[in-house]
Structure 1
Amino acid sequence: MNSRSPAFTPDTATVSEPFKEAAADGFMVGGFTWRHALPDAQRPVVIINAATSVRCRHYSRFADYLFANGFDVITYDYRGIGESRPATLKGLEASWTDWGALDFEAMVKRAQREFPGQPIDVVGHSFGGCAAGLGESGQVIRRLVTVGAQFAYWRDYAPAQRWRMFGKWHLLMPLLTRLCGYFPGKRLGWLEDTPTGVVRDWSTPAARYEQRPSGRRLLKASGRLPFANVRAKTLAISISDDPYGTIPAIERLLGYFSHAHKTHLRIEPQDIGEQQVGHFAFFRSAYQATLWPIALTWLQTGELAPDTPGRPVPRS
């Protein structure tokens, strides 16, 4: 399994158009839209939420695929990343909660404005699944697909790699962030450069989201976390060789979506004729024939096809 950030994927889709959208606090969030020529109130629009510090361009070919199968699509970068990066990250106190409650929420508002009346679906990779529950407008999500979605509680990491990952993400990452004023992930080849608030949230070794720094602030400000707003039919996909997306990690996040109809699908790489898949590879075009149809079918029908690889994890 390769735990490094995925290689930069150029946006080769000729149908995408760039945009800038102001979040509620005025921060300009950048991304891309795949839009069919004629509006159709029956056509869903899919918002793709990226993993922590992975550029939205990584998901461009998957967006192409959804567009070719009849969806409008929005991809975007969280503040501090890619299309939403300011001139300097020093002094940018963006957090995980900002990425969800402000940036993802801005994309929901954009979808409602740009595609009026169309159903809104969401695909969330890693933290992107968590972000889908942090927006106040979660009730408008019709269907939700998450891939390896969790919020990095260290005890949930795969046992064989747990201590190495703890040293990397919970000791070295915050140390370098303190020295540089942001996490210089790009120079290390680990991630995109990352704002300090996100690093604080990730590196805090707490089992509950509301125990992370920005989660505490959100709970104090509103008296609640907004995950329960989401009532979508939700498919959580996890891959058995993903050291982040273990069954306990996926179930820990799913527990917050208390009003959603949830299915957790566990896939072994061997189920699709592979030796390894890991945390980042799902959205690479090599898996267009094997993994992408699982997400597509759920977005189209809200169900798993009878021949879907893997097996559902029993709900407690």
Structure 2
Amino acid sequence: MTASECPAALSTVDRIAVPFVEPAADGYALGGFQWRHGERQAERPVVIINAATSLRCRYYSRFADYLFANGLDVITYDYRGIGESRPASMGGFRASWSDWGMLDFEAMLQRARREFPGQPIDVVGHSFGGCAAGLASSGQLIRRLVTVGAQFAYWRDYAPAMRWKMFAKWHLLMPLVTGLYGYFPGKRLGWLEDTPKGVVADWSTPTKRYEKRPSARRRGPLPFPQVQAQLLAISLTDDPFGTRAAIERLLCYFTGSERSHLRIEPEDIGETEVGHFAFFHSRFQEKLWPIALQWLRKAELTGELPGQLSKLQGGPQTK
């Protein structure tokens, strides 16, 4: 992602948000922000926002403001190595996609349970953030899950017109640069944030990740049966990462969840493009954000909807 491909980064967090530091499951200090209403209500959900790979949590602050203004409590945070959770030195820093889900997101689930006792816990996951929702051991705590463009970055699922260009950028050039620096210097190049070496390895070879029991007969992530959430996947037809095949490949791993997929063409909302990153830009507050809000509130979509809504059946696919 370059600066021209991503909407302007959100440089500030609303003053209502309170910063926090939460230890991950292994003790690593994670930084984030919390939006909390004054009076506790047992029926009010707390929403954890899982970021895309190497986007800072501040990018989602206006979306968090929107959820808060509509009566929800919200937690945003950065995975280890990113933004508020960046170490003093990135050189040699160890972190992986598995760490981000199994340790970091797990810590946020535990924080939500501790800080908002008795309240439902919902999750919004962007890109890898949807995968992270399936990796935490306490995934059964998730009541409702909304994913946006969530997939495994499996190169064969990329949009055909851009597949080889994307493969060269993300699966060849990014690992090569990472090998030279010991981490990916994304900020210097205008691509994402600086990114740990292990995460780059996961991105560039996703078919080998998440295997707890490696086998020559089986490739790809383990299923996520512990997540028994009401799941809505939102995807855009002009997202080169989030093709239908990519979105539904990930959905197939949520074997314990009720899964719906809303696929939207930009023209459905009077736009020429949205892509992989722009859903969370404030210009889509009126056109797209109410879809996520409605699902978080009721686990159903009513009224006139853009796009095509379908239910997914079946279990995990292989790569």
Q: TM-score of the superposition, structure 1-length normalised?
A: 0.94
Q: How has the CA–CA distance of structure 1 residues 198 and 27 changed in structure 2, closer, same or farther, with 3 Å as cutoff?
A: same
2:106 equivalent in structure 1:
105
Q: How far off is 1:11 after superposition?
A: 2.5
Shift of the alpha carbon at 1:151?
Answer: 1.1
Q: Contact 1:144 / 1:232 at 8 angstroms: preserved in 2?
A: yes
Between the aligned partners of 1:6 and 1:84, the Cα distance in structure 2 is: 22
Partners of 1:204 and 1:6 lie apart in 2 by 27
The aligned counterpart of 1:243 is 240
Q: Paired residue for 1:204?
A: 205
- In the TM superposition, what whole-angstrom CA distance separates every residue of 1:263-309 from its partner, at most 9, and x where no partner exists? 00000000000000000000010000000000000000000122111
Counterpart check, 1:141 vs 2:164: no
Report the AA paired with residue 281 of structure 1: A
How far residue 146 of structure 1 moved from its aligned partner, in angstroms, is 0.2
User: Can you list the C-alpha shifts for 1:33-69, whole angstroms capped at 9, x where unaligned?
Assistant: 0000111111100000000000000000000000011
Indicate whether 1:279 and 2:276 are aligned. Answer: yes
Q: Which residue does the alignment assign to 2:186?
A: 185
Identify if the C-alpha distance between structure 1 residues 6 and 53 changes in structure 2 by more than 3 Å, giving closer, same or farther.
farther
1:106-137: per-residue Cα shift (whole Å, max 9, x none)? 00000000000000000000000000000001
- Conservation of the 8 A alpha-carbon contact between 2:34 and 2:74: yes
Distance in structure 2 (CA, Å) of the matches to 1:191 and 1:79: 15
CA contact (8 A) 2:7 2:281 kept: no
Q: Which residue of 2 aligns with 1:267?
A: 264
How many residues align? The count is: 306
- CA 1:263–1:281 in structure 2 vs 1: closer, same or farther (change >3 Å)? same
In structure 1, list runs of 5 or more residues that go unmatched. none
1:14 equivalent to 2:15? Answer yes
AA paired with 1:60?
S
What is the root-mean-square deviation of aligned Cα atoms in Å?
A: 1.5
- Contact 2:24 2:104 survives alignment (8 Å): yes
Question: Quick one: structure 1 residues 47 and 314, their matched pair in 2 at CA, closer, same or farther if it must change by over 3 Å?
Answer: closer
Matched, 1:119 2:120: yes
Whether the 8 Å CA contact 2:120–2:143 is kept in 1: the answer is: yes
2:231 is matched with which residue: 234, 243, 253? 234
* Contact 1:92/1:195, CA 8 A, preserved across alignment: yes
Q: Which runs of 5+ in 2 are unaligned?
A: 215-220, 314-319
Name whichever structure is richer in helix by fraction. 1
C-alpha distance after superposition, 1:140-179 (max 9, x if no partner): 1000000000010000000000000000000000000000
Residue 166 in structure 1 maps to residue 167 in structure 2? yes
Q: Quick check: 1:43–1:71 contact (8 Å CA) kept in 2?
A: yes
Letter of the structure 2 residue corresponding to residue 26 of structure 1:
G
User: 1:229 aligns to what SS in structure 2?
Assistant: coil
Structure 2 counterpart of 1:89: 90
AA of the residue aligned to 2:83: G
Which of 286, 289, 296 is 1:299 aligned to? 296
Letter paired with 2:60: Y
Residues 138 and 314 of structure 1: CA distance in aligned 2, closer, same or farther (over 3 Å): closer
Matched residue SS, 1:122: strand
Deviations 1:11-36 (A, max 9, x none): 24121000000011110010000000
SS in structure 1 of the partner of residue 301 of structure 2: coil
